[in-house]
Amino acid sequence: MKDTMWLPVGLGILVLLCGSPALGQRNKIPPNPIEKIPSQPNLDLKKFAGKWYLLSVASECDYLKLNNHRLEATIMEVSRSTKPQELENLFVRTFRKLDGICWEIKHQYRKNKVPGRFTLKARGPENRMDVVVGETDYENYAIMYYQRQRRITIKLYGRRTTIGDEIYQKLDERVSSQGIDLQYIYPFPAYGFCEKADEFHILDETSR
């Protein structure tokens, strides 16, 4: 299967398909946006581990503008490594359907110098992503930031498929603070989840 077929499957698809900055903007490099976003203080990886349902995504990505009607229910399962040298890394398994078939995608979020910040490497030389766990109460919600080529995508996860209005209000505030119009917040389906893929539909990116 060609590499282009992997794109609609991976955890970072909503970030990877966003376009890069205009050519004329590359001469003057502005401050890195992700560095201005605070991470969850004293992030407890043990508490953060477990199952998360993807509830909403905020992004001005052109792909989402055109294809938001095709979004599929998505689950993220987070765990920590048992290897002493990787205890601060996150291992993420994402489950979602593509053409009615359940896929499992494995990623490793490698620790950064600052707790709550990670680096994710995906296919292609320019597909490095910065990831920040911006806010979580561990039991109900998590707001995460993904950056590729200086463009931010914000994702809201929940321990359940429904959460309180006050959490969505938090999301609106975080989205507005990044200069993203609220019309570009896209809700994900709260039904049709899959949690297991056969051996032919597992994409392992953890070695990258």
Kindly report, residue by residue over 156-195, the tens digit of the pLDDT: 999 999 999 999 999 999 999 999 999 999 999 999 999 9
Winning range, highest mean pLDDT, from 25-34, 83-92, 105-114: 105-114
The answer to whether residue 149 scores a pLDDT higher than 90 is no
Query: What is the model's pTM?
Result: 0.85
Query: Burial, 207: exposed, middle or buried (Cβ in 10 Å; 0-12, 13-18, 19+)?
Result: exposed
Query: Burial, 36: exposed, middle or buried (Cβ in 10 Å; 0-12, 13-18, 19+)?
Result: exposed
The answer to whether the beta carbons of residues 134 and 39 sit under 8 Å apart is yes
Each residue's pLDDT tens digit, 104-139: 999 999 998 888 999 997 666 567 899 999 999 999
Based on its alpha-carbon atoms, the radius of gyration of the chain, rounded to whole angstroms, reads 16
- Banded model confidence at residue 12, pLDDT cuts 50, 70, 90: low
**Residue 101 confidence (pLDDT):** 95
- The secondary structure of residue 32, as a DSSP letter, is P
- CA–CA distance, 95 with 76 (Å, rounded to integer): 7
**Residue 206 confidence (pLDDT):** 84
- The secondary structure of residue 170, as a DSSP letter, is H
The answer to whether the beta carbons of residues 17 and 128 sit under 8 Å apart is no
Class of domain 36-202: mainly beta
